[in-house]
Amino acid sequence: MIVEIFIFVIAAISGLFITGYAVHMLVGGLVSADAESQLITLVCLVVACGIAYMVWDVIKRRRIQKP
């Protein structure tokens, strides 16, 4: 169980990092640095909410499956 949690945390962190980098590559240089930082923050927040929803769903499903 601990190893599984560790793997999920690493996957979530790397997913957020890649998301931030992708936004940087898409809008970097097209907008001001402040706007870019705000956009990266907003997109990463949305992705983090999606990841949190998936975590909640997995926990809910596992509680149902336990005898």
Q: What are phi and psi of 31, to 5 degrees?
A: -125, 175
Question: What is the domain extent for residue 24?
Answer: 14-65
Count of domains observed in the chain: 1
31's CB contacts (< 8 A; 6+ apart) are 39
pLDDT > 80? residue 10: yes
pTM score, two decimals?
0.83
For 41-62, the pLDDT digits (tens) are 999 999 999 999 999 998 898 8
32 is a domain residue: yes
3 is a domain residue: no
6 is a domain residue: no
For 18-48, the pLDDT digits (tens) are 999 999 999 999 999 999 999 999 999 999 9
Q: What confidence score (pLDDT) does residue 15 get?
A: 96
27 is a domain residue: yes
Q: What confidence score (pLDDT) does residue 46 get?
A: 98
